A and B are shown apart, each in its own frame.
Chain A
């Protein structure tokens, strides 16, 4: 049985209808259609080449936002989209994936696990195409209008110039939706898009509260942060020195060893123990404070 919502249906999302002639006539979907899902939607989009920084920021923002009951909408691509969906699912929040291809196709196929997770958590998979239609490049760009159209606001974590993300924000601007951009280092290739957005008047987001305020929701007190600080309090002097370094920027073990003038063996030992205590976290060789 084909699950589909047509534009004349009552169930059709109001906000999406407002984009006028560009609104898709039909929306095929997987999962349970629940109109409450469309009340408060935030599009979270980012580069396919998300850096570790972008990934961490996405996780941090989305976890808090999704936990507050806002639906996270994204395009199910790897990188930024993937991080947004999976963080939402992990936070027990709601999320909608807008596919660029036929509704019966999982694309990219590697993310089948995430696809099932979304459905299991009462999320929704939607597409304007039926069957197993394969995606072609123009369909990705077109899909982005649905992502923007469904959402009251859009959060851009990282984006290159000439990226699909900027296409989405272009639609958002056209539809008069709020745009939030997270600043990043100006030297980074995937910060150039967000910086451009900020220059053009996008609102700067530095914490989840900035977005929650827009949705008029009070932020939840994050409980896990408190326990991390208590761990930090128990750290010994070398650990404290490492924490001070990592507060400035994430670093590799070698750089920490060099800056602190401690042997690699000692640093290695300390870093492992700090990881086990849950003070720091390693990703792609660099250490971060949780």
Chain B
């Protein structure tokens, strides 16, 4: 007797249909085999399914059971086939009708209950696209999957309940999507107003957030670099619906959505330590897994102690920084993960950290300092639009000099301007096709503009261009820096709500030109 149960396989963010074919042969010695390139986790599914069925007080058939995962040439991994295999076997015993157009996924526990399984959202998306109206997933994964409208998502607690439903003895209500905050209520550890001084750096953060620009901060230990970075999530614009889905897809495929979790609605802030491996940061492994840069998609990747990261790890970020996605190539498969993130880096000016410190003495030799600063390569620095020097704040001097007329803004106030600036950009670039899936042309923020976009959207008045020309001679700006300045000026103009880039915008942009790590 042959039973076919529908399921899926997730290769990176791509989903394909997998038919779980269960054959129970009356002839032959009793046994249980799985074919169709199962990995270890799939192969062990035999034991889980057997135990789960027995725990549900159903006799496990003493027959020769063969399971085929078709198409047979694509490697299958993970524990999600437990449920479809169990459903196939139960069907042969209990003789119920599996509803048409159904997909199953879920990991079984020995007691017959179902555990949270990764990739439910991807399967739900697939179900919607290919017209599968019923999706049976573990209860803990159901909310995540139900974010996709138009698919009935059945939350399964255990095998007994599912069998009861198929035998029409019990009813299971499809889940209604509920938004649950996966993250703590406050998005940032610090509010911008808690950061003492650093007016210029705060302003740079605002510009970075508004235009999605990469930013590097260089300064002595204790000057507030990390605090500024940690305050950044508080001024980031919210994720749009499409962006939210993009991000959740990555997290779902990596199994990073907690049980009962919903869509990710906030820009993610990832801060990997500098001992992170290449595969951990960029993605990869023998079974490709998204790295930190993909988990930071549409969000922030904060690399503290930038110059302590191994050089080859940083260099590997060059391509994703440019393209916004990363393709991991293996002999058997190629997987593309989106990685459109905003890089926030912080570094010390020298090994001891006190180069140019007003109070403390730097103990490094000039040669050491030069060597230290060379650790970050030119091509990487070139991809960073905003360069800020962070000077240590003298608390006493700060209190004395603080004028009442100067308003210290909260994150919320800054965020409002950022959101408006983002809306302007979205409107500007919507003509380009907005969110084309992995399309080359899709851009959302000023930082992503290529030279043709700059020509089109950043027309410079004669006098503005003159300022930039003068500056590029005076400060010896490279061609790339020249373009960077225009992009940053565009964002500053957007923050102000100006249609054209004015002299004042360009002049301010010049403040954030790369000056650190070049002069010494």
A253 touches B406 (CB 8 A): no
Q: Could you list which residues of chain A lie within 8 angstroms of chain B, going by C-beta atoms? A: 48-49, 78-79, 108, 110, 189, 252-255, 257-265, 267-273, 275-276, 282-285
Residues of A contacting B356 in the complex (Cβ-Cβ under 8 angstroms)? 284-285
Contact among A254, A258, A270 with B403 in the assembled complex (CB-CB below 8 Å): A258
CA distance A258 to B470 in the complex (A): 29
Does B367 make an interface contact (CB < 8 A)? yes
With A48-B366, A79-B366 as given contacts, are A265 and B405 in contact (CB-CB < 8 Å)?
Answer: no
Rounded to whole Å, the gap between the CB of A288 and the closest CB of chain B is 14
CA distance A253 to B511 in the complex (A): 10
Does B202 make an interface contact (CB < 8 A)? yes
A264 touches B404 (CB 8 A): no
Residues of A contacting B200 in the complex (Cβ-Cβ under 8 angstroms)? 253-254, 257, 264, 267-268
Rounded to whole Å, the gap between the CB of B516 and the closest CB of chain A is 8
Residues of A contacting B511 in the complex (Cβ-Cβ under 8 angstroms)? 253, 268-269, 271-272
B366 touches A258 (CB 8 A): no
B362 touches A49 (CB 8 A): yes
B391 touches A110 (CB 8 A): no
Residues of A contacting B519 in the complex (Cβ-Cβ under 8 angstroms)? 283-284
A272 touches B471 (CB 8 A): yes
Interface of B is mostly: helix
Q: Mark B179-222, 1 if CB is under 8 A from A, else 0.
A: 00000000000000000011111110000000000000000000
Does B287 make an interface contact (CB < 8 A)? no
The residue of chain B having its C-beta at the shortest distance from the C-beta of A108 within the complex is B367
The residue of chain B having its C-beta at the shortest distance from the C-beta of A282 within the complex is B515
Which one of B68-76, B93-101, B124-132, B502-510 is at the interface?
Answer: B502-510
CA distance A265 to B508 in the complex (A): 7
Contact among A48, A189, A252 with B361 in the assembled complex (CB-CB below 8 Å): A189
A285 touches B361 (CB 8 A): no
A264 touches B515 (CB 8 A): no
Residues of B contacting A270 in the complex (Cβ-Cβ under 8 angstroms)? 507
CA distance A182 to B366 in the complex (A): 23
Residues of A contacting B286 in the complex (Cβ-Cβ under 8 angstroms)? none
Contacts beyond the supplied A253-B199, A254-B393, A273-B503: 17 A-B pairs with Cβ under 8 Å: A49-B362, A79-B366, A108-B367, A110-B370, A252-B391, A253-B511, A254-B198, A254-B201, A261-B403, A267-B199, A268-B507, A269-B511, A272-B507, A272-B510, A275-B474, A282-B515, A285-B389
Residues of B contacting A273 in the complex (Cβ-Cβ under 8 angstroms)? 467, 503, 507
Residues of B contacting A78 in the complex (Cβ-Cβ under 8 angstroms)? 366
B389 touches A263 (CB 8 A): no
The residue of chain B having its C-beta at the shortest distance from the C-beta of A259 within the complex is B401
Does B398 make an interface contact (CB < 8 A)? yes
The residue of chain A having its C-beta at the shortest distance from the C-beta of B473 within the complex is A276
Most buried by B among A108, A259, A270, A272: A272
With A79-B366, A253-B200, A271-B511 as given contacts, are A276 and B474 in contact (CB-CB < 8 Å)?
Answer: yes
16 A–B contacts from the bound complex (CB under 8 Å): A48-B366, A108-B367, A110-B367, A252-B391, A253-B199, A253-B511, A254-B198, A257-B406, A258-B197, A258-B199, A258-B398, A258-B401, A267-B200, A272-B471, A275-B474, A276-B474
Residues of A contacting B503 in the complex (Cβ-Cβ under 8 angstroms)? 273
CA distance A282 to B474 in the complex (A): 12
A259 touches B403 (CB 8 A): yes
Interface of A is mostly: helix
The residue of chain A having its C-beta at the shortest distance from the C-beta of B204 within the complex is A264
Query: Is the interface on chain B under 10, 10 to 19, 20 to 34, or 35 or more residues?
Result: 35 or more
A258 touches B507 (CB 8 A): no
Does B402 make an interface contact (CB < 8 A)? yes
Per the 8 Å Cβ criterion, residues 330-345 of B in contact with A are none
With A252-B391, A269-B504, A282-B515 as given contacts, are A258 and B402 in contact (CB-CB < 8 Å)?
Answer: yes
With A258-B406, A259-B401 as given contacts, are A264 and B202 in contact (CB-CB < 8 Å)?
Answer: yes
With A269-B507, A285-B356 as given contacts, are A260 and B361 in contact (CB-CB < 8 Å)?
Answer: no
Rounded to whole Å, the gap between the CB of B46 and the closest CB of chain A is 65
Rounded to whole Å, the gap between the CB of A162 and the closest CB of chain B is 14
Residues of B contacting A264 in the complex (Cβ-Cβ under 8 angstroms)? 199-200, 202-203
Per the 8 Å Cβ criterion, residues 366-423 of B in contact with A are 366-367, 370, 389, 391, 393, 397-398, 401-406
Rounded to whole Å, the gap between the CB of B245 and the closest CB of chain A is 35
CA distance A188 to B492 in the complex (A): 39
CA distance A270 to B405 in the complex (A): 18
CA distance A276 to B475 in the complex (A): 9
Rounded to whole Å, the gap between the CB of B198 and the closest CB of chain A is 6
CA distance A83 to B492 in the complex (A): 38
The residue of chain A having its C-beta at the shortest distance from the C-beta of B389 within the complex is A285
Residues of B contacting A79 in the complex (Cβ-Cβ under 8 angstroms)? 366
CA distance A134 to B504 in the complex (A): 54
With A261-B405, A269-B504, A285-B356 as given contacts, are A254 and B366 in contact (CB-CB < 8 Å)?
Answer: no
The residue of chain B having its C-beta at the shortest distance from the C-beta of A160 within the complex is B361
The residue of chain B having its C-beta at the shortest distance from the C-beta of A270 within the complex is B507
Q: Mark B488-520, 1 if CB is under 8 A from A, else 0.
A: 000010000000000111011011000100010
CA distance A108 to B371 in the complex (A): 14
A254 touches B362 (CB 8 A): no
CA distance A255 to B366 in the complex (A): 27
Rounded to whole Å, the gap between the CB of B418 and the closest CB of chain A is 14
With A110-B367, A276-B470, A284-B519 as given contacts, are A257 and B510 in contact (CB-CB < 8 Å)?
Answer: no
Residues of B contacting A285 in the complex (Cβ-Cβ under 8 angstroms)? 356, 389, 391
Contact among A258, A261, A272, A284 with B508 in the assembled complex (CB-CB below 8 Å): A272
Residues of B contacting A262 in the complex (Cβ-Cβ under 8 angstroms)? 406
The residue of chain B having its C-beta at the shortest distance from the C-beta of A260 within the complex is B403
CA distance A6 to B474 in the complex (A): 47
B197 touches A254 (CB 8 A): yes
Most buried by B among A255, A264, A270: A264
Rounded to whole Å, the gap between the CB of B461 and the closest CB of chain A is 15
A254 touches B391 (CB 8 A): yes
CA distance A83 to B231 in the complex (A): 41
B406 touches A261 (CB 8 A): yes
Residues of B contacting A272 in the complex (Cβ-Cβ under 8 angstroms)? 471, 507-508, 510-511
Rounded to whole Å, the gap between the CB of B331 and the closest CB of chain A is 46
Residues of A contacting B201 in the complex (Cβ-Cβ under 8 angstroms)? 254
CA distance A257 to B398 in the complex (A): 11
CA distance A252 to B220 in the complex (A): 15
The residue of chain A having its C-beta at the shortest distance from the C-beta of B510 within the complex is A272
Contact among B203, B391, B404, B510 with A261 in the assembled complex (CB-CB below 8 Å): B404
Rounded to whole Å, the gap between the CB of B353 and the closest CB of chain A is 15
The residue of chain B having its C-beta at the shortest distance from the C-beta of A109 within the complex is B367
CA distance A267 to B198 in the complex (A): 13
The residue of chain A having its C-beta at the shortest distance from the C-beta of B506 within the complex is A272
CA distance A146 to B510 in the complex (A): 46
CA distance A248 to B218 in the complex (A): 26
Residues of B contacting A48 in the complex (Cβ-Cβ under 8 angstroms)? 366
